[in-house]
Structure 1
Amino acid sequence: MSRITTLALAGAATIALIATPGAAQSVTPDYPATRATDTSETLFGEAIADPYRWLENDVRTDPQVAQWVEAQNTVTDAYLETLPGTAWFKERLAELIDYERFGIPSKAGDRYFYSYNSGLMNQAQYFVRDGWDGEARLLLDPNQWSADNATALADTAPSKSGRYLAYAIQDGGSDWRTIKLLDVDTGEELSDEIEWAKFTGISWIGDEGFFYSRFPETGEGQDFQSLNYNQKVYFHRLGTPQSADELVYETPDAKEQGHGVGVSDDGRWAFIYSSTGTDDRNELRVIDLTERASQGWAARPLITGFDNSWSPIASVGDTVYFQTNKDAPRYRIVRADLTADALEWEEVVPQSDQPISGASIIGDRLVVEYMKDASSRAVYFDLDGKQTGALDLPGIGSVGGLNGEPGDSETFYSFTSFNQPGAIYRLDVETGERTVFAEPEVAFEPEDYRVEQVFYPSKDGTRVPMFIVRHKDSTGPSPTLLYGYGGFNISLTPGFSPTRLAWLEAGGTFALANIRGGGEYGKEWHDGGRLNNKQNVFDDFIAAGEYLKANGYTGPDGLAIQGGSNGGLLVGAVVNQRPDLFDAGNAAVGVMDMLRFDRWTAGRYWVDDYGYPDREADFRVLRSYSPLHNIRSGVDYPALLVTTADTDDRVVPGHSFKYTAALQAAELGEEPQLIRIETRAGHGSGKPTDKIIDEYGDILAFLAHHTGLEVPPAD
């Protein structure tokens, strides 16, 4: 069953040495003038000035905003070109990214589908094998879809037999999707085409057709800004126009609800998952697909009220297994007979001290994934909940995949860590036989880098884990890049990144702090960093920086910080609160205006984590940390590089535009406050490889220069 969820590479290393920050002196840039207006509004008795509100307008339709973007990029590009490390980072990133990368195969019928990138392809291709020993056959090549390579393959879903492939196309990084179909036998594209799909899965009923979710069409020019309300579920029958699609489920009296569908592997049940935001709470309804002839799309409520998380795992006959956090903040596995007159929930796998991060039924085994201090482990149970074994993993890292279905013991999974690119394995869970499907050959020695985990106290005494990665011969302080997120129940686990490897190769240290707001320790860890507890997130991150300096990982002037989206908010907030602690920062696609975030696209969903700006109690909390509203003019700030994209319709670029304008207007000392604005790149997904190399080459060179990291000369 497709899991339903709520709503994101090196040679010989140099030894880390401390250099004098700013040794290659750069001149603070002359910022472009930004028009300030007298726009202001009174909220709960407080006058809130908003002089740059005009920068909220869509850059594609407002010439003044477009001119501002061009002027800012001109200044930023000129500054970045002066930095000594830019050329080396871009050259090395191209080498580190240039290795074969395979996606985890999915099986449909006797066919195996997977993505593949030979190294420097801007977009991964999509292949199929007819049988495991069959020859790989190219089905889709997104590199041929647009001149700038910014049109990407966003999702794929083979039909039950593998005869057809539904696939979603993403253009310019947008969250909007166009769904098309392919005849896998012939490789020919069918005439079917679905528009206005967003935040959707694709769930087939056999080879007949599939469920998907869509929003109403927006007004002209509003597709990148208008709020996403009234999501509906439709069924598309193969070979018919979208106008003939059947409405399956909607909630016109509750326009804020979003809906998704998953179909059980046996084709018996369709589960409708409804949520109101990003929190791990949902309602669940079920359609018995064997009764469609008489009942149509009648959906029977299973779970009502948005109190807990309920995710179907798989069905075995009339019995369906679920993962839930009801009465179990770290999750448990339960089951019920869905044909019974009254549902009776039976616990199969109880909650433990380690949160459950996922589960599947593969063959006759229940495979449950756990998180142990933000690292993966996987345990086998029989279908009655008796533990029968565990998956042997090489150490600290993250597992992906482990999907399957009852009656078929074959599965695939990946394992990755900070110093190990994702190797993919084929596994028979019944026999334990494991073979390598793909093991990348990379341009560095993984053994040259060591991964350690430390635990440090936050401001309130909470014990917080942090991963630290360094060259094995590094002993003294070195410029350090600290990364964090802290929100939306998202767990940061070990994973390989060419950009981080380039930083390590240049002599730096990388640290990842598993701060509150994430899901590393279950619901309590998430709740401890959201709503009126949001300050804990910032305290945890500040404490991580203090730990790194106090314990000699980095020197007094060598700490850079980075975060994206909610992590961009994190960077903006902690820089306001402790500008003395950090020496450089990259705030990427951040949520910077906490008083207006809920006015665009998906922003309204985030009230689960942030609260409602129009409710006074929440407003007071949001006002206290909003990056835009707490810039401290007259205080020396670290060097900041804000990054965003003109087509980001998740966190609209107006957040970053207004924040940068306010930074540049304030008196923040001599360090630069710059913004880098990418074109046709969106929130991050689908970004072509050449843009990734160019962007991260700039970011790393900026952070290196302002932390004193001495970058090797370019060839």
Structure 2
Amino acid sequence: MTQAASPPPAYPATRKDALVETLFGEAIADPYRWLENDVRSDPEVADWVERQNALTARYLAGLPQRDWLRARIRDLMNHERFGLPVRAGGRYFYMRNAGLQNQAQLFVRKGLSGKPRLLVDPNAWAADGATALDAWKPSRDGRFLLYSVQDGGSDWRTLKVLDVGSGEVLGDTVRWAKFTHLDWVGSEGFLYSRFPEPAPGEAFQQRSYNQTVWFHRLGTDQAADELVHATPDHPELGHAAQVTADGRWAVITTSSGTDARHAIHLIDLKARRKGQWLVRELVGGMDHDWQLVESLNGTMWFLTNQGAPLYRLVSIDPAAPVPQWHEVVVESADKLEHAAVVGDKLVLNYLRDASSRAVVLDLAGQAASEIALADIGTASGFHGEPGDPETFYAFTSFNRPSSIYRLDLATGKSQVFAQPELGFDPDQFVVEQRFYASKDGTRVPLFLVRGKAAAAAGKPVPTLLYGYGGFDVSLTPAFAASRLAWLEAGGAFALANIRGGGEYGRAWHDGGRLANKQNVFDDFIAAAEYLIADGITTARQLAVQGGSNGGLLVGAVVNQRPDLFAAANPQVGVMDMLRFDRFTAGRYWVDDYGHPDREADFHVLRAYSPLHNIASGKAYPAILVTTADTDDRVVPGHSFKYTAALQAAPIGNQPHLIRVETRAGHGSGKPTDKAIEESADVLAFLAAATGLNVPAGASGMQRR
């Protein structure tokens, strides 16, 4: 009998209130609403979290797989990792982690062969490593660097500036930025987006309204910043500003939620006078997606799904008396994910069945040549500006950590710029793409990864199935040390590209949201059934995992088919579908989920909400809920309430526990040591429940 099959320790007592509301004629009990309170300011919630964490820690400490997994994940992460270089003013800026540093450092060098110089080291910012360097942007002359600081995993950002030559951090400090682009107006200052300063004690729960675009002039206080664009009559609208490489235009992209529906406004910086920001509309209506590509010599390019669900590339002369759109690259059978003007070329990145392909064309959209990529995987980057001699891109797959390549645009040849030394042999793992039929017959892609020995044996093995299925997000092949450790122990990993994502454009997204959300759960359940029917695994060996919207996915499918899984890990999940829009960024999500205060949407949400559909009387799998105290994207109250409801329900003797990370948020900025500990804890829990046995007497393979 596995560790997880034993009855868990007694759960900590949780206060249960007699709170019932009538919503659209239905009585909805909410006995754990008090757990929505901020854990940082409510002593009772903090005490509940402390007692839950103590129970979970005791349980995890007894799992025999934990030490090996921790050591192996640590070893697999202990290799040099590089980010994509950015060229500005003859300097190249790039991120680098030596291996196990809590935060990657930012380096600069003069020219490609120049000596690297450490420019920003966030590891010195906090004793616990939980303060991170987030976004950064050099001025186009390479003289200054604008960067954002993330503390404790929060979505809030503080903006700073340093002099690249001296390394001195300037006195400019901007607070309350969130969901912002960073871009320079020459070297005089920068554009950014911020929200009003939250009320005292509300920074981590207050809903996000009234985002505005501001200009900060170097050497001045934030109070002197100039208001560039605001819509006070429509507080639900968000705005982000970019500056074109030619310095001519500021482009403001406006949205109302998470949907790819935008309005575009322009500011002619050539005609700007100090303190004046004359904004004019280029695209109105917010009916389609419009993504700025670049502006050069009177031509501005955009990606759009207007009349093209898989996207096309169009151009316009924004200064013309009557601007007219021209099609440059027509819609193809593959989804057009990204485009850039680099040198005198167009570089396009496509998605074909959730795997990357990339091409280079001239500025008229002709003379295409394919960029050779290694088999199944994800290519990203391809950034740059007109006049640049090269572009850089990263390539990764499930069995290959990210390598950085430099593409010489004159020759069309790619060369390795940075490649990690690996502590394993990638060729010992098999990466396959398969397709299966969902409940309604829809053909759904699935990636399956196994060690060669496990694939050759043809026997069912413990399998980890991952999914997301929402917000037009595409899941593509990527390396994770924790997944490889699972594979080395003899397990299999599967990733299902279910509806709701963006893998096949607008139709795929629409097929899994709002009233169609059940398709997402059906697709994921069908993936599990396929893995079992094909002999990859069994229901007693299958674990499911997903984060954020994927946490909702895991909670919903476990409620609907608890018999299908041995273990589940909903991470930072949206679990209360009747109140998600009341906190921080939740109000944006109505585009995918619907409005809880509208009757038709309420009934759809009520039917699958993980919190409200726990099936009493059925035997549930082992469940480890994971969240963090500073998650102000999906507030931890979702996971707190869901865990309390699981522990109170008669759903069998498997453990239903929660792990709450401190000084961490929704995921970004998490220090390496916290990431290793969390991954080891989660995989040890899933391994115990599925019967995965780690190699005996070893801490992992040696570096080759």
TM-score between the two structures when normalised by the length of structure 2: 0.98
Structure 2 residue 49 is matched with structure 1 residue 66? no
Q: Equivalent residue of 2:404, what SS?
A: strand
In 2: Cα distance, 1:518 partner to 1:551 partner: 25
C-alpha distance in 1 between matches for 2:196 and 2:124: 30
Q: Which runs of 4+ in 1 moved over 6 A?
A: none
Matched, 1:303 2:303: no
The answer for the alignment partner of 1:695 in structure 2 is 678
Instruction: Determine the C-alpha separation between the residues in 1 that align with 2:651 and 2:410.
Output: 62
Aligned-pair CA distance for 1:25: 5.5
Q: Deviations over 1:129-157 (max 9, x none)?
A: 02222110001111110111100001111
Amino acid at match of 1:490: V
Q: Is the 8 A contact 1:85 1:712 kept in 2?
A: no
Q: Would the aligned equivalents of 1:287 and 1:299 in 2 still touch at CA under 8 Å?
A: yes
Residues 24 and 351 (structure 1 numbering): CA distance in 2 closer, same or farther, change over 3 Å?
A: closer
Alignment partner for residue 265 of structure 2, among 281, 285, 300? Answer: 285
Q: Does 1:578 align with 2:561?
A: yes
1:104 correspondence with 2:84: yes
Gaps of 5+ in 1: 1-20
Counterpart in the other structure of 1:470: 450
Equivalent-residue separation in structure 1 for 2:173 and 2:310 (angstroms): 41
Q: Please tell me whether the aligned partners of residues 310 and 506 of structure 2 are also in contact (alpha carbons under 8 angstroms).
A: yes
CA displacement, residues 160-194 of structure 1 (integer Å, 9 cap, x when unaligned): 11100011000000000000110000001100000
Percent same amino acid among aligned pairs? 63
Matching residue of 1:339: 319
CA contact (8 A) 1:202 1:212 kept: yes
**Which residue is 2:606 aligned to?**
623
Structure 2: which amino acid aligns with 1:176? Answer: W
- Across the two proteins, how many residue pairs are aligned to each other? 695
- The answer to whether 1:705 aligns with 2:688 is yes
Q: Which amino acid is the alignment partner of residue 156 of structure 2?
A: W
- 8 Å Cα contact 2:6-2:654 kept in structure 1: no
Choose which of 197, 205, 215 in structure 1 pairs with 2:195: 215
1:244-268 deviation digits (Å, cap 9, x = unpaired): 1100000000000000001101111
Query: 2:336, 2:260 → 1: CA distance?
Result: 13
Q: 1:27 deviation in Å?
A: 3.4
- Give CA deviations for 1:429-450 in whole Å, capped at 9, x if unaligned: 2211322111101111000001
What is residue 8 of structure 1 aligned with on the other side?
A: none
1:38 aligned partner: 18
Q: Which amino acid aligns with 2:562?
A: P
Report which structure shows greater RCO (CA 8 Å, sep ≥6).
1
Distance in 1 (alpha carbons) for counterparts of 2:630 and 2:319: 47
What residue in structure 2 maps to residue 224 of structure 1? 204
Matches within 5 A, 1:477-492: 477-492=460-475
CA gap 1:626/1:24 in 2 versus in 1, 3 angstroms: closer
Alignment of 1:108-507 (within 5 A): 108-293=88-273, 296-474=276-454, 475=457, 476-507=459-490
Shift of 1:101: 0.3
Is residue 524 from structure 1 mapped to residue 504 from structure 2 by the alignment?
Answer: no
Per-residue CA deviation, residues 405-458 of structure 1 (Å, 9 max, x unaligned), is: 122231111100001111101111221132211110111100000100000000
**Contact 1:86-1:698 within 8 A present in 2 as well:** yes
Aligned to 1:545: 528
Instruction: Give the aligned CA root-mean-square deviation in angstroms.
Output: 1.1
Shift of the alpha carbon at 1:383?
A: 1.3
2:518: which partner in 1?
535
**Residue 294 of structure 1: how far off its partner (Å):** 8.3
C-alpha separation in 2, matches of 1:276 and 1:23: 48
Letter in 1 for 2:45: V
Distance 1:622 1:652 in 2: 18
Indicate yes or no: 2:660 matched with 1:680: no
Q: Matches of 1:135 and 1:384 in 2, distance apart?
A: 38
SS across alignment from 1:30: coil
> Structure 2 CA distance, aligned partners of 1:249 and 1:414?
35
How far apart are 1:295 and its partner, in Å?
9.2
Could you say which residue in structure 1 is the equivalent of 2:540? 557
Verify the 8 A CA contact 1:154 1:167 in the aligned structure 2. yes
> Please, which moves more after superposition, 53-62 or 38-47?
38-47
Counterpart residue number, 1:18: none
CA shift, 1:557, in A, is 1.0
Contact kept? 1:215, 1:231, Cα under 8 Å: yes
Q: 1:472 is aligned with what amino acid?
A: K
Residue 642 of structure 2 is matched in structure 1 by 659
Cα distance in 2 between the residues matched to 1:185 and 1:283? 38
1:650 counterpart SS class: coil
Aligned partners of 2:539 and 2:351: how far apart in 1? 34
Partner of 1:27: 7
Match among 549, 565, 568 for residue 566 of structure 1: 549
**Distance in 1, Cα, partners of 2:12 & 2:193:** 43
On the 8 A contact 1:516/1:526 being kept in 2, the answer is yes
Residues of 2 paired with 1:162 and 1:102: CA distance?
20
Distance 2:274 2:6 in 1: 74
2:491 is the counterpart of 1:511:
no
- Report the alpha carbon displacement of residue 403 of structure 1 after superposing the two structures with TM: 0.5
Paired letter, 2:477: P
Q: Given that residues 122 and 143 in structure 1 are in contact (C-alpha distance below 8 angstroms), is that contact kept between their aligned partners in structure 2?
A: yes
Q: Is the 8 A contact 1:209 1:237 kept in 2?
A: yes
> What amino acid is the match of 1:609?
D
* 1:83 matches 2:63: yes
The reply on whether 1:609 has 2:592 as its aligned counterpart is yes
User: Residue in 2 aligned with 1:6?
Assistant: none
Q: Is the 8 A contact 1:644 1:656 kept in 2?
A: yes
Q: TM-score, normalised by structure 1?
A: 0.96
Aligned partner of residue 225 in structure 1, secondary structure: coil
Letter in 2 for 1:238: L
